[in-house]
Structure formats: structure tokens, C-alpha cells
Amino acid sequence: MPDPSVPAEILFQGVELSRGALVVLRGIDLAVQSGETLVLVGRSGSGKSTVLKLVNRMLLPGKGRVIVRGTATDQWDAIQLRRQIGYVVQEVGLFPHMTVQRNVDLVPRLLAWESERSVGRAADVLRLVGLDPAVHAQRYPHELSGGQRQRVGVARALAADPPLLLMDEPFGALDPITRSEIQHEFRTIQRQLGKTIVLVTHDMAEAFLLATRIAVIDDGRLIAVDTPRNIAGHTHPAVRALLQPLVEVSAAIGTAEG
């Protein structure tokens, strides 16, 4: 559980955001503590990606403040802020004309690391996500499977060792078996690296597997922020609706076994 004596890594205070006439986020208050994995769930269009974009200053709030590592995002230089943050999106966004190596050590090279150090770092993070650099570093993105590309996306986000990771449906496009493998590897990485992570998914099973806390967003409002165990008992209709598929699967398995 969050310790109120430790300053939050990410703090939303009364955040509202509109896109034209559409109110996308309403009165969001949220504190993400150092080292936790907060998983943001909600149906499509509920505002999950918007929350992440407020953290890395791709968007600024209309009302309220987003404070990252002690400084409000409108006071952060966007480039400096994004150096604190690894950002992983579902579409991955690897550069097709660059090798895996070049894609992964992009940020270290931008930060003018020595070439030996950035190559070594790329190899380390590739191993961390389960790719052998000797096999994969010189390949191009089109020579990889979807799961391997997704791993490269995670490796790239980790390359410059940022303290924060924002992950927007990072495993969404994968088949269920590959997805499950990557989720389990991700848990190992989580334990090894102790990053502060905000991960968006619409998959409740993924949320239960990866979260220290789950935040449920519905139509731009945060309606619950709690541990997975406690979320399972929430009675809010929007929480129950998200849980319903899991309930149905476990009932069906129970029937099959019984």
C-alpha cells in the first residue's frame, strides 16, 4: 500500500482535460508511489491513454496539476522530463530501416553515451527481455515476430535506465500464449529493476497479474484505486462490468471440471 510519508513519483491533483467540447478527464486525483506498478483499466475511450500523455507532457491539463518527480509538468522541460520516462506503446514504433541494436540504443546515443557503453547496454536490455543479442541485434524489425518486436519496444524503453515507465497496452497485439510469456518475463524485470510503472490495459487478467494497485477509470473518472485483492470485491457497476469476463471464464472452467 502507498506510504503517505514518501513523496509520490507521479501526482495528479484535480486534473481535468477537454478535447474541444468533449470532457475527457474529470477531477482526477492519483498518487503513484516509487517502485509500484499501477495498472490503469477501463473500457475503450475511457481516458487511459490520455492519463499517460499527461505524465510525459504530450498533453497539459486544462485544470489541476500533474506533478512528476516533484515538479509540475508545465514547469518541466519536455525533453528533460521524457529522459525520466520510458514509453512503450502497442504499435511499438520501431524504425524499420534501423537494426534492433540501433532502435534500442537510440536514446543512449542521443544522450551521447560512448559507443561501447551504448552497445553493451543494448545487449544487456535485449537479454533482459529474453532476446539473444548475438541472434537479434543486427536484424531489422521486419525480420522479427510480433512478440519479438514488442520485446524490442520494451528493451528500447529501458535502454537509458529511466526511473519511470509508461506502458500503453504493451502486450495488446500478441497471441495469448506469447502474451502470457511476456507478462511473466515482465514480472521478473519488475522485481529486478524496481521501476515506477504505469501500465494501461483493457485486460483485467493482465491487471491482476502485474499490478501492485489497479486504478479503474470510467468515462474520464477514476472510480476505484486499490490492490488487486480489494478491487475484486468492489461493487461499483463499472468495476463489476470489467470483472465479468473473468467471472464467466472461471465459472465455465468450474463447470467443465465439475
Site string for ligand ADP, 29-68 (x = CB under 6 A): -------------x-xxxxxxx------------------
Treating both helix axes as pointing N-terminal to C-terminal, what angle do 115-128 and 146-158 enclose, rounded to 10 degrees? Answer: 130
Residue 107 CA to residue 136 CA, distance in Å, equals: 19
Residue 214 CA to residue 226 CA, distance in Å, equals: 5
Residue 50 site contact among ligand ADP, Mg ion, none (CB < 5 to 8 Å, cut-off depends on kind): ligand ADP
Starting at the edge strand that comes first in sequence, how are the strands of the sheet with 10-19 ordered? 22-32, 10-19, 63-68, 71-72
CB of 20 to ligand ADP, least distance (A): 7
The three-class DSSP label of residue 139 is coil
Residue 42 site contact among ligand ADP, Mg ion, none (CB < 5 to 8 Å, cut-off depends on kind): ligand ADP
Q: Are strands 164-168 and 85-89 parallel, antiparallel or unpaired?
A: parallel
Site string for ligand ADP, 144-183 (x = CB under 6 A): ----------------------------------------
CB of 46 to ligand ADP, least distance (A): 4
For 57, other C-beta atoms within 10 Å of its C-beta total: 20
Residue 45 site contact among ligand ADP, Mg ion, none (CB < 5 to 8 Å, cut-off depends on kind): ligand ADP
Write out the residues near ligand ADP by the rule CB under 6 A: 19, 22, 24, 42, 44-50
